[in-house]
Structure 1
Amino acid sequence: MGVLNRFTGLLTRRNINIESASINSTPDNKAVVAKFKIQVAKAHEREHLKRVIAKQIDVLSVQWDDCKNDLEFEHAIVK
């Protein structure tokens, strides 16, 4: 099962909607950067979600843009 599928499953279980998504590969094609705009009002819920996503296989990093409530994570491409 792919990283994107696991990520959307995590959000579905928490009743969180994706407002927008952008998924692009890095110039060297070794990783994919996925940016999602989601609304999670409470800071402790954002941090919990960040930890859960970071534990996923192939996820390299997870970051929140606190100004815009955007979530960004990077994962390796498995070929």
Structure 2
Amino acid sequence: MNHSITVRLFAQLRELSGIETLDYDVPAEGLALSDILVDLRTRPSLAVSLEGVRLMTAVNQTMVREGHHVVPGDELALFPPVTGG
């Protein structure tokens, strides 16, 4: 059985990395969102777009914090904070 989540990047994160979506393997019991973010920031293809950026995160279209527990089948969305003018 495949134990993965789908990670979607939005806005400048997508533009800088050139990545729209990626599959990310997680254990069957899941993983803390904070651990996933630490790992993603070490990947060469994502390091530049995620370095020093405060991220907003959503799992299954619900805003979550870094303490959230992500399980196989979830969809994780990463995007920069939205600002208005």
TM-score range, shorter chain: 0.3 to 0.5
For normalisation by structure 2, the TM-score amounts to 0.34
Higher strand share: 1
